Structure 1
Amino acid sequence: MLKRIFLLFLVVNVLSACSLGAQQTKTEKEYKIGILLSDSGLGDESFNDSAFRGLERARDEFGILFDYKEAPDGDFEEKLTELVEEEYDLIIGLGFSVKEALEKVAKEHPNQQFMIIDEVSELENVVSLTFKEYEGSFLVGMVAAMKSTTGKIGFIGGFDVPVINHFKAGYIQGAKYVNPNVEVLVEYANSFGDATLGGAIAEKQIAAGADFIYPAAGFTGFGALQTAQKLGKLAAGVDSDQFFVAEKAVTTSMLKNIDVAMYDIAKELKETGKIGSSTYVLGLSENGVGLADIRVVQLSDAENSQLEEAKEKIISGDITVEME
């Protein structure tokens, strides 16, 4: 009898140990994400910082491990290769400028999963994630036209490239939706990292009559916002809520919710062990873009209604915002 009890006890313990071992094996898998930040690097108060916040949240909430690389000298391929060698489950290239290098490294490592933000790749091991910047910028253009007293507003682009022109196109369409006669001054800085240059361009546009400035130019836009404040004009931030950059000028910001996207991607990786789709396109209906709170100025009830109505029409498809 004692022998039977002992054998039963032994079997139960063996089964429990197997079950516990299986649980431990399952929970011991730690997913790792490596990200190569865009040109302006961490501390840009915009796109890079927002992506970093999303991954920090994923780390804190469900234990995703992540690290980042910067390539201020443009050595994207070298940094991406370092991430491959460090054996990350997913390697993310942030920004359109990294596409060529990322695709080259991806071809050399076909079993490694990559993701590119703000560009589209046809490679099987590269997931593409883009935003409908033009939809959010349409709403910014509406606010600009509503509050402009000169009928002239400004746009400053980092580079004359498709993703930046999405911001410009939506901004112009939104402004003309409110005031068909509005004039939009456009200039490209050819830099995402020169705040002094951004300020100089903003000053030139203001001297030409613009009383609302919208930069889509990374850290270059930082200087544009501060110059708008210094000269008593209005502005809109981009990517993140940039109100604190110039609290007397920034009426709102076009939120490009890269933080939400990074969090959701990390969560999908944690829950399923892979990224299920090859392409993600995030607009107003997906909470990929939107507007920060309206500050500095007050919109009338009629203006608020018009803004909300336009947002709903964009989501429903009654208003089509063109990318170019």
Structure 2
Amino acid sequence: MLILALLLAAVMVLGACGTSNGDDNDQDTNDTDTEQTEGAGDDTEDKADFSLAMVTDEGGVDDRSFNQSAWEGIQAFGAEHGLERNAGYDYAQSDNAADFLPNLNLLVQQDYDLIFGVGFALKDAIEEVAGNFPETNFGIIDEVAEGDNVASITFAEEQGSFLVGVAAALKTETNQVGFIGGVESELIKRFETGFYAGVKAVDPNIEVRVDYAESFSDDAMGRSIANNMYSNGIDVIYHAAGGVGLGVFSEARNRVENDPDANVWVIGVDRDQYEEGQQGDHNVTLTSMVKRVDVAVQEVAAMQLAGNFPGGEQIVFGLEDDAIAVADTNTEAFTDEIAAAVQEWQQKILNGEIVIPQTDDELEEYLESLN
């Protein structure tokens, strides 16, 4: 009995030791979990309690133009403020105008705090949805829309277009340049008239041919128009046509591929489209009129995050805001002479020495002043 009692006591002691080690392990795990939770809490505090999204126009988020620029701005804002895709930021793709309303409503239902409509074509849809959901804020790019919860984000496109017109006039060897627009509208007219004025400011004798694709996504149409222009002696084409412009680049690259000595150039728009012009060792991108939609999107988002959303206001971004620029990536084509001339004309714009026309009537007056 004594031996059995001693054995039982030993088992109880060993069991107690085992429980103590287990408690220690559990405590270590709990301490680790606590540290991880506290760390996660710190990360969460760094994240903005805010979400934003955008609806593309028919050009799509990968149009390598202003839809893509807007999306890059949203992504950059998300990264800066610790937001995650879907919950913190996202986009809805529109294949045509019929998608605008459903996409906007979908993002509202997903409780995004700020929703951007990219492109003037979304104006009616933005106004309707903003009126139905006054607690949600909206931003529209390239148009002015009604609504106390709508910020209208516009740009001085005519300024940058004037400057690339100067570059085109200095680059052409045939004294013929072209402009290809997407859908003819008040917005695209600003690109056209600014470009036309810049060309004529350098040399009134240079011919400027204008054509519209009536689309922002038909790259085949862009290629067709560009083919016609190049075949008729035009050697520099400026496009303001979204996805249509990809067809312009395609046509120029194809001509260089077939004839390395072909003297054809494209002026890109919205983003620096240097990469679109690469064909072997040659690049057909003379320059690009850079419109920093990404910067504008981030600035408006930051204003809302700070409690200063500019609802009911129109914000115009221009040269003075570093939101309009001329790309000089292709240093082989965009020579020092061209760069110096562009800089000189830019300073005149900033100094108020010239006002760039935005409409046909203003352009006519401007051309008369050159005589």
Residue 234 of structure 1 pairs with residue 265 of structure 2: yes
1:311 and 2:346 matched: yes
Distance change (3 Å), C-alpha of 1:311 and 1:29: closer
Letter in 1 for 2:69: S
Give the aligned residue type for 1:241: D
Per-residue deviation, residues 272-318 of structure 1 (Å, max 9, x unmatched): 134146221011111111111152414354x4332211101111211
Contact 2:57 2:118 in 1 (8 A): yes
CA distance in 2, matches of 1:290, 1:177: 19
SS of the residue 1:165 aligns to: helix
Structure 2: gaps (5+ residues): 1-41, 256-261, 360-371
1:69 offset after TM fit, Å?
Answer: 0.5
Residue 139 (structure 1) aligned to one of 153, 157, 163: 163
* Equivalence for 1:47: 66
Alignment map for 1:67-86 (pairs within 5 Å): 67-74=90-97, 75-86=99-110
User: Any conservation in 2 of the 1:241–1:253 contact (CA below 8 Å)?
Assistant: yes
Report the number of matched residues: 300
Greater displacement, 150-159 / 64-73: 64-73
Alpha-carbon distance in structure 2 between the residues aligned to 1:68 and 1:99: 17
Distance 1:50 1:78 in 2: 23
> Aligned pair in 2 of structure 1 residues 202, 25: CA closer, same or farther (>3 Å)?
closer
**Counterpart-to-counterpart distance in 2, 1:195 and 1:276:** 36
In structure 1, what is the equivalent of residue 275 of structure 2?
244
What residue in structure 2 maps to residue 273 of structure 1? 307
Q: 1:24 to 1:169 in 2, by over 3 A?
A: same
Q: How do 1:170-319 residues align onto structure 2 when only pairs under 5 Å count?
A: 170-231=194-255, 232=262, 233-247=264-278, 248-270=283-305, 272-276=306-310, 278-295=313-330, 296-301=332-337, 303-319=338-354
Consecutive unaligned residues in structure 1, runs of 5 or more = 1-22
CA distance in structure 2 between the aligned counterparts of 1:143 and 1:25, rounded to whole angstroms: 49
Q: Deviations over 1:208-237 (max 9, x none)?
A: 211101111111101102212333301111
Cα offset, 1:24, TM superposition: 10
Give the counterpart letter for 1:308 in structure 2. Q
With normalisation by structure 2, the TM-score equals: 0.77
Rounded to whole Å, the distance in 2 between the matches of 1:97 and 1:147 is 34
Residue equivalent to 1:58: 77
- Maintained 8 Å contact 2:151/2:310: no
Query: Is the Cα–Cα contact under 8 Å of residues 284 and 315 in structure 1 kept in the other structure?
Result: yes
Letter in 2 for 1:196: A
SS of residue in 1 equivalent to 2:144: coil
- Deviation (angstroms), 1:187: 0.6
The offset of 1:139, in angstroms, is: 0.8
**Cα 1:273–1:223, aligned 2, differ >3 Å: closer, same or farther?**
same
**Equivalent pair of 1:34/1:68 in contact (CA under 8 Å):** yes
Aligned partner of 1:5 in structure 2 is: none
Q: Equivalents in 2 of 1:144, 1:160: separation in Å?
A: 22
The residue aligned with 2:258 is: none
Residue from 120, 128, 143 that aligns with 1:119: 143
Residue 39 of structure 2 aligns with which residue? Answer: none
Name the CA distance, whole Å, in 2 between partners of 1:221 and 1:169. Answer: 18
* TM, length-normalised to structure 1: 0.88
SS of match in other structure, 1:313: helix
Q: Conserved in 2, the CA contact under 8 Å of 1:31 and 1:269?
A: no
The alignment partner of 1:285 has SS state of helix
Q: In structure 2, what is the equivalent of residue 10 of structure 1?
A: none
| Distance 1:83-1:154 versus aligned 2 partners, 3 A rule | same
The aligned residue for residue 55 of structure 2 is 36
CA distance in 2, matches of 1:100, 1:290: 30
User: Which amino acid in structure 1 is aligned with residue 215 of structure 2?
Assistant: S
Deviations 1:125-149 (A, max 9, x none): 1110001111001111001000101
Kept in 1, the 8 Å contact 2:328–2:334? The answer is: no
Q: Distance in 2 between matches of 1:234 and 1:32?
A: 41
Larger radius of gyration: 2
Task: Tell me what 1:8 maps to.
Answer: none
Cα distance change, pair 25–63 in 1 and its aligned pair in 2 (3 A): closer
Root-mean-square deviation (CA), in Å? 1.9
Q: SS where residue 321 of structure 2 aligns?
A: coil
Alpha-carbon distance, 1:29 to partner: 5.2
3-state SS of 1:153 partner: strand
